[in-house]
Structure 1
Amino acid sequence: MTVETDQSLLAATTQIEAARAGAFPALAVEAFFDEPTNTVSYVIHDPATRQAAVVDSVLDFDAAAGRTSTASADALIAYIEREKLTVEWLLETHAHADHLSAAPYLQRRLGGAIAIGREIVTVQNVFGKIFNFGTEFARDGSEFDRLFDDGDRFSVGGIPAIALHVPGHTPADMAYAIGGAVFTGDTLFMPDYGTARADFPGGDARALYRSIRRLLSLPPETPLYLCHDYKAPGRTTYAWQTTVGEERAHNVHVNDGVTEDDFVAMRTKRDATLSMPKLILPSVQVNMRAGNLPPPDEEGRRYLKLPLNQL
């Protein structure tokens, strides 16, 4: 598909240009950085209606103790209540492998629909086998309130939004163009750090390159809000906001001078040196359930599985 025939991308471009022209209120964005998982969560809202969305929330998890807690999510709640916002959406860019989602906890406290890309069913099928889940795990995405297809439109208050399918890191990755900004999930990192890995089950470096180039076809001034930062060598502060133009000019993995074959070779070689994320096994089995913990046993206890020699 070329840029000229990519109707979803054209619609997102039109929306971003309309936002710059003042066709609707400027999106308010508040970032919350969770240093233990290097994750950035966002509370975004329409200043006119006070309607809001939460992007990629974090449920705190002490892996050594097997204990969850809600300090990170409670910080989001405190901000939302202080700003008198009404939550419409709890958006997930994908089933994260590095942190547990707090979406169900936030939904119980604040409401809102939990949403993710429709290809979460592919992730559920792949990891359902790895975790040896039985037939009680439906593998149809029904744990989520909304499954987005590429190009699906929604809104945050009066601010329009478009879901963009950007597979590669996982089959289910979505970016969200909301007003004049794009929330990229794990697809891109800051220009000095590069791009997401593509070696998880269902990942594809070639698909990742094409997804990134798709996002980088948006107007160069488009703000990009990233999901993670790890401080590139020589940088002493965390950062998570950049632009399409900055990524095209300076991204160390995928700037305008990098071909698809070069990227695939680099990404494949680099991924072979990386260890699995510390929380991938607890995270994925929770996040592919829309952030819900596994069902309790007859005594009310919940257990996470630890499959051996599967990743």
Structure 2
Amino acid sequence: MQANSTQPQVHGIFDPATWTVTYVVHQGPGSACAIIDSVLDYDPKSGRTQHTSADKVIDYVGANQLKTEWILETHAHADHLSAAPYLQSKLGGRTAIGDHITAVQKVFKGIFNLEPEFKLDGSQFNHLIQPGETISVGALEGQAHYVPGHTPACMAYQFGDAVFVGDTLFMPDVGTARCDFPGGDAKTLYASVRKLLSLPESTRLFMCHDYPPAGRPVQFETTVAEQRANNIHVHDGVTEAEFVAMRTKRDATLEMPVLILPAVQINIRAGELPPKEDNGIAYAKIPLNVL
């Protein structure tokens, strides 16, 4: 599971509105880069989008004269909208997500009753990443690890000693991701987490989100050793049965994410807004009494 030994530089940009971290991975000024899990600002009260968070990414890429080769998603997020199309229009690069996105598209096309023309083959993205696939970012070679459980399409991306885990893990004092979305499964997540935690103990793990307990500042980098010792849900010694029981009980108490309805139907489109209707306006659907 170890990617090549060339170590990346990692720059995280935290979005306080969604508790999301966008990462820029590169080898220094003038090199190629990958952008992971970008954020499109969305106001659920007005339905308006903005590019404040994405523009911070653009500013960083420009200041370091980076060449964007990839705009990666770890999965189809339920808590924020992707800014991939906007970033691609400004920076270039190819959009990509794990190849199991097609299963997610199939489920949510039905839930949202999307237009007949919506394809279920992942072709909204420039590339679908296979488990174990090598991802080249200039001279930096990464590897895609398939880590389902939170969703059936979750990927973690490893570049050198840095792994971008998506929503499989949170900081040790927060635990792990929920598994009650369509296609999620706690037993599967346990196996995915243990796979990640089998990496060398010094491996750096970068979270997609942080939800810090009161009094702790935002953090989004930890290590395999720290997770194995201290993760409140899945530290060494926690059995699969214990984890599944905990996760199932906990998930039953959780509210839906604030942005799940607009986020999922846009993120399965690779961040593109739904097609405009005959009045020139794009609409996000709200299925009533379904989720």
Residue 217 of structure 1: how far off its partner (Å): 0.5
Is the contact made by 1:49 and 1:158 (CA closer than 8 Å) also made in structure 2?
no
Amino acid at match of 1:159: L
- 1:199 and 2:175 aligned: no
1:72 aligned counterpart, secondary structure = helix
Q: State the secondary structure of the residue aligned to 1:65.
A: coil
Gaps of 5+ in 2: none
Distance 2:111 2:43 in 1: 23
Q: 1:114 aligns with which of 91, 95, 99?
A: 95
Q: CA RMSD in A?
A: 1.0
Partner Cα distance (1:244, 1:232) in 2: 21
**Displacement, 1:155?**
1.3
Q: What is the match of residue 31 of structure 1? A: 12
Distance 2:19 2:11 in 1: 16
AA aligned to 1:222 is T
1:84 and 2:71 aligned: no
CA distance in 1, matches of 2:29, 2:73: 24
Question: 1:27–1:45: 8 Å Cα contact kept in structure 2?
Answer: yes
Match of 2:277 in 1: 297
Q: Structure 1 stretches of 5 or more lacking a match?
A: 1-11
Establish whether residue 42 from structure 1 lines up as the match of residue 16 from structure 2.
Answer: no
Conserved? CA contact 1:90–1:115, under 8 Å:
yes
TM-score between both structures, scaled by the size of structure 2: 0.98
Matched residue, 2:38: 57
Which of the numbers 175, 181, 184 marks the counterpart of 2:165?
Answer: 184
How far the C-alpha of 1:147 sits from its partner, in A, is 0.6
Whole-angstrom CA distance in 2 between matches of 1:76 and 1:258:
38
Answer whether contact 1:46 1:156 (CA < 8 A) is retained: no
SS at match of 1:108: helix
Indicate if the aligned counterparts of 1:117 and 1:174 stay in contact, CA closer than 8 A.
yes
Cα deviation, residue 49, structure 1: 5.6
Which whole-Å CA distance do the structure 2 matches of 1:152 and 1:118 have between them?
Answer: 11
Instruction: Please tell me the residue identity of whatever aligns with 1:296.
Output: K
* Distance apart, 1:107 and its partner CA: 0.3
Which amino acid in structure 1 is aligned with residue 167 of structure 2?
D
Q: Are 2:208 and 1:227 equivalent residues in the alignment?
A: yes
Q: Distance in 1 between matches of 2:49 and 2:132?
A: 35
Letter in 2 for 1:208: L
SS in 2 for 1:185: coil
Output the CA distance in 2 between the equivalents of 1:111 and 1:253.
Answer: 39
Q: CA deviation at 1:295?
A: 0.6
Q: How much does 1:150 deviate?
A: 0.7
Q: CA deviation at 1:119?
A: 0.6
- Give the percent of matched residue pairs that are identical in Structure 1 and Structure 2: 57
SS of the aligned residue for 2:165 comes to strand
Counterparts of 1:183 and 1:143, CA distance in 2: 23
Q: Which residue of 1 aligns with 2:197?
A: 216
Q: Secondary structure at the match of 1:266?
A: helix
Shift of 1:48: 7.3
Give distance in 2, aligned partners of 1:238 and 1:281: 26
Q: In the alignment, is the contact (CA less than 8 A) between 1:55 and 1:92 conserved in 2?
A: yes
Whether the 8 Å CA contact 2:39–2:82 is kept in 1: the answer is yes
Q: How many residues align?
A: 291
CA deviation vs aligned residue, 1:105-151 (integer Å, no higher than 9, x gap): 00001001100001100000001000011321111100001111110
Q: Distance in 1 between matches of 2:278 and 2:239?
A: 55
In 1, distance between residues paired with 2:287 and 2:243? Answer: 32
User: What amino acid sits opposite 2:187 in the alignment?
Assistant: R
TM-score by length of 1: 0.92
Letter in 1 for 2:88: Q
Pair 1:167-2:148 in alignment: yes
* CA distances 1:14-33 after superposition (whole Å, capped 9, x unpaired): x2xx52xxxx3x31111100
Paired letter, 1:43: V
